[in-house]
Structures are given as C-alpha cells and as structure tokens.
Amino acid sequence: MNRSSYDLAVVGAGPAGMAAASEASALGLKAVVLDEKPGPGGQIYHAITAPRTSARDAVLGPDYLGGLPLVDAFTHSGADYRSGATVWQISEDGVSYAGADGGGDIAASRVLVATGAMERPYPLPGWTLPGVMTAGAAQLLLKGSGLLADDAVFIGTGPLLYLVAVQYLNAGARIEAIIDTASPAAKWAALPHLPMALRQSGYIAKGLRMLAQIRRSGTKVIHGAKDIALEGEERVAAVTWRQGASGQRRRLECRHVFLHQGVVPNPNMTMAARAAHQWDEVQLCWVVDRDTHGRTSLPWLLAAGDGAGIGGAKVAELSGRLATLAAAHDLGRLDAAAFAARSAPLLRRIGAEMAPRPFLDRLYRPADTDLAPQDEATILCRCEEVRRGAVADAVAEGCPGPNQLKSFTRAGMGPCQGRMCGHSIGAVISDLSGRSAADVGYFRLRMPVKPVTLGDIGGMTHAQREDS
Ligand SMILES: Cc1cc2nc3c(=O)[nH]c(=O)nc-3n(C[C@H](O)[C@@H](O)[C@H](O)COP(=O)(O)OP(=O)(O)OC[C@H]3O[C@@H](n4cnc5c(N)ncnc54)[C@H](O)[C@@H]3O)c2cc1C
C-alpha cells in the first residue's frame, strides 16, 4: 500500500496532465501523475514514446510529433509518474489507484482531474456487431500497434473522423466510403462564427487540406444519408441507409465500420466526486463548473483539458498549466503578483486557441436523430443490453430521468458506469418527454469510477494474486 504525500496529484498524462506536472515542478510543488496507459501522451499523443520510424512519422503527421517536446519536458520534470495506474477514487484526502505495483492510496493536498475526452456514443442499429468500432479506437490501434483495416466505411461527423481517414490514407489503406452525417442546417448555423474562427486560420487551413487530400484520393464521400443501419450475423457485413428526397434504400458491403460523432468530456470522475456540473447547449455535453484556472466547486479539486470542456490539445496543455498555478497559489506557494503575471499570457493564448470552437462545434453538430436514435431495437446501454424500446416503455410508465431508469432497466449499471450510454440515454429521455437535456440530467455516479477487484482495493500486487 502506497501512502506517500504530495502537493498535487494529477490524474491523466495527456497534454493537460503532462503540462500541469512540468509547471508544478517549476514551481517547487511535489507532484504525482497517474495514468492507466503504459506510457505518457494521452489520446492525441498515444504511444508517442514508441520507437520512431519515418513511415510511422509520415502516417501520423506533424501534429502528432508536435507532442514530443511536451513529453520530453514532462519526463525530465522530476514529477513522480505512475504508468499503468488506474485511479478509481478521488477525495479530499487524495487518490486511490489500482496497478501492477499493488496500487494504493496517495495523499495529496490538491487533485487535478485531467482525464480527457471520450467519443460521444453513436448508437445505431447493428453498432454492437464485431467489426464495428469508433474512429478513435481505430486510431488507437493504428498509433499503438500499426494495425489497419482495409476497405472500412467511416460514418459520422467531426474533425476526428476526417483526421483518422487521412491517417488511414497516409498509411496506404483504401477507404470504402465516408458517410458524412452532418446536417446541411449545421453549415448555416456555423457560418456566422466563421470570421472569428479565421482568427486562428491555421485550423481552418488544416481542415481544408484534409478534405482536399480525401477528394484527391478518390474516396467516395456520401452526404444526406438517413436511417443508417449496420447488417450482419457473425460480424458486420453491410451498411444500409436511405438517400435523398426519394428515400431509396442503399446498401454497401463492408467488413469494418468506424463510427464517430464528436468528443465530449469524460464526466465520471468529477461527477462521482460530487463537483457541480452544467449542461453545455453548444457542445451538447455535461461540463464541470470551473473558474478560469480550473477550480471546481470543491476546494480540493481542479479540472483541466478536454475532460473539463472540449478545446483541443493546445488548450488542454495551457489549462493544465493554469490549474497548477491555481493550486500553487491556493496552497500559499505562489504570491498574488506572480500568480497574476504567470496566468495572464496563458489566459490570452487560451482565448486565441478557442476562437475556432464556436464555428467547429456548430459545423459538426450531430443530427438530433443520431443523438437520440428512433429505432426501438437499437441498443443504448451496451453493458446491460438496454434498447431504446425499453427506455420508451419506462418513460411511458412515468420514469422521469436516467437515475430512475436504472431501477426500471439497469441502464448505466454495468462495468462502464454509464460512460458509453449516459449521453444517449439523456438524449432519448429528452426526446421522448419533450424536456431539455439539462432538465433530464445525468446518472448519479459513484466511486469506484473504474471496475476494480477487491484485490485492487485491498492493494494486492500481481505476484500476491498469483500466489493466492
Ligand atoms: C479516442 C480519441 C482520440 C483522439 N485523437 C486525437 C488526435 O489524433 N488529434 C487531436 O488533435 N485530438 C485528438 N483527440 C482529442 C484529444 O483528446 C485532445 O484534445 C487531447 O488529447 C486532450 O488532452 P487531455 O490532456 O485533456 O486528455 P487526454 O489526452 O485524453 O489524456 C487523458 C489521460 O487520462 C487518462 N485517464 C483517464 N481516466 C483515467 C483513470 N481513471 N485513471 C488513470 N488514468 C486515466 C487516460 O489514459 C489518458 O491518457 C482524441 C480524442 C479521443 C477521445
């Protein structure tokens, strides 16, 4: 059992967590960083410390390699880094984690949650078939293991869908088709925000370059698809959809499908800690209430990065630094003048980096029917196999929200604790009841936030488990 004591415990070694730890060391704070992955980098820089080859560099692109200095600074920061450490509980006393070393409790004066984003669930008929995964999962396989699936169909909307498609093309894979589900109305809603987005024209130029590369590759891009469904027995065999005004049903055979409709903050840890959250009507997700420096409604808890609100990797890095400044100031280790002086340039850069967000969030807004699927047989909660029809029955019987739905159906009570279904369940109840998503609310979450064994909680090492 590990009971060392730290000024700051950081959960997550993505851009936010790595930057926070580097800043902590520069300020003389004793910091520990825990991440369940085997190496630092988070989602964007997943497996960045793997041996480099020119082929891999060319596939993953310059933005991926741009993470190397950050990882290098983190590695040399002097912060205590625990890889393969799954944090299952946080509190005002610190964090509890499970890991190969036996895990344990780590006392810390402040806890910074930098657990990043997750892909918004995209439930549609057949999405649980083998051969179907999220675009982000396909990307992790590419980054981590160099695995590719030829002739995949990409379905959905959002910058990450196109980024993964481009990385696939860079790797020499053939893409069967991209079915872009963004509604035409989204473009009109985004347009007024284009001038502000152009203040950071690099993002727009990058997006246009990706679209041009996909066009040049000859990949089929299909717009206006409705009622998309995946077919197959043992595994996915085809995608079908209704096209255009005639509503004619089309069919495309395939063996792999990658789904994606944007990323949302992973709210499980901050919600389970009982920090205040609110519904973001533009990003269509729950976000933790926080000030400019990531201080939440709980005095011991800070939040940074995409887990606290989607802003991308640069904003994650900057917000990690700001949260550490706040921790240092609040612990009496940084005076008010230094706190203000160090914060000002970071806040300015965050303002600039966030300029394209209102445009991007509206341009890639998922269609309402994709957020809340209409087909009765579509599974919403994968862990407990709860279908939309069961949710509709419960709402018709008077079930008012996700928490009561647990008693009706067990939705959200499986190992993922609602991570995979929370947003879809909220959207479907909102759709069925005519109430806003904010009013419907989210699951009431509890620790442990990750599935752990009694051995993990008791702090057994792997060797002890094998002996017992
Ligand atoms: C699947 C996926 C792929 C993405 N790929 C890209 C990309 O290629 N390019 C891009 O620009 N943006 C990408 N993004 C968006 C992206 O997340 C970045 O904006 C950036 O990585 C955010 O940094 P962060 O530090 O906030 O979180 P992350 O980079 O997500 O890091 C969070 C870290 O927290 C760890 N963690 C989470 N829960 C626990 C726990 N309970 N215990 C221990 N550790 C925990 C995770 O293992 C992870 O390493 C991706 C998002 C997702 C969901």
Residues 9-67 pLDDT 10s: 999 999 999 999 999 999 999 999 999 999 999 999 999 999 989 999 999 999 999 99
pTM for this predicted structure: 0.96
pLDDT of residue 282: 95
Q: If pLDDT is split at 50, 70 and 90, which confidence band does 2 have?
A: very low
Tens of pLDDT, residues 250-284: 999 999 999 999 999 999 999 999 999 999 999 99
**Region 139-166 average pLDDT:** 96
The long-range contacts involving 23-28, CB below 8 angstroms and separated by at least 24 positions, are 23/320, 23/321, 23/324, 23/325, 24/77, 24/79, 24/324, 24/327, 24/328, 25/77, 25/78, 25/79, 26/77, 27/324, 27/325, 27/328, 27/333, 27/334, 28/333
Give the distance (Å) from ligand 1 centre to CA of residue 294: 17
* 8 A C-beta contact, residue 74 and residue 26: no
Q: What percent of the chain has pLDDT over 90?
A: 90
C-alpha–C-alpha distance, residues 286 and 309, integer Å: 8
Cβ of 31 closer than 6 Å to ligand 1, yes or no, is no
Q: If pLDDT is split at 50, 70 and 90, which confidence band does 419 have?
A: confident
Least confident interval from 123-137, 239-253, 422-436: 239-253
Cβ of 312 closer than 6 Å to ligand 1, yes or no, is yes
Residue 78 has pLDDT above 60, yes or no: yes
pLDDT of residue 22: 98
Contacts of 145 (CB under 8 A, 6+ apart): none
C-alpha–C-alpha distance, residues 178 and 223, integer Å: 9
Q: Rounded to a whole number, what is the largest CA-CA distance in the chain?
A: 67
Residue 117 has pLDDT above 50, yes or no: yes
Structure tokens at 377: 């047989």
pLDDT of residue 454: 86
pLDDT of residue 1: 43
- What is the full DSSP assignment across 215-248? HHHT--EEESEEEEEEEESSSEEEEEEEETTTTE
Cβ of 12 closer than 6 Å to ligand 1, yes or no, is yes
Residue 319 has pLDDT above 50, yes or no: yes
Residue 136 is which amino acid? G
- Give the relative orientation of helices 68-75 and 15-26 as an angle to the nearest 10 degrees: 40
Cβ of 309 closer than 6 Å to ligand 1, yes or no, is no
Tens of pLDDT, residues 213-238: 999 999 999 999 999 999 999 999 99
Residue 328 has pLDDT above 50, yes or no: yes
pLDDT of residue 455: 82
Residue 3 has pLDDT above 60, yes or no: no
Residue 415 is which amino acid? P
pLDDT of residue 453: 87
Cβ of 370 closer than 6 Å to ligand 1, yes or no, is no
pLDDT of residue 460: 66
Q: What are phi and psi of 168, to 5 degrees?
A: -65, -45
Residue 461 has pLDDT above 90, yes or no: no
Mean pLDDT, all residues of the chain: 95
Mutate to test the pocket of ligand 1, among 22, 33, 43, 447 (most ligand atoms within 8 A of CB): 43
Residue 107: Cβ within 10 Å count = 14
**Region 427-432 average pLDDT:** 98
C-alpha–C-alpha distance, residues 211 and 221, integer Å: 10
Exposure string for 361-375, b = 16+ CB within 10 A, e = fewer: bbbbbbeebbbbbee
Question: How does strand 285-288 pair with strand 277-280?
Answer: antiparallel
* 8 A C-beta contact, residue 94 and residue 107: yes
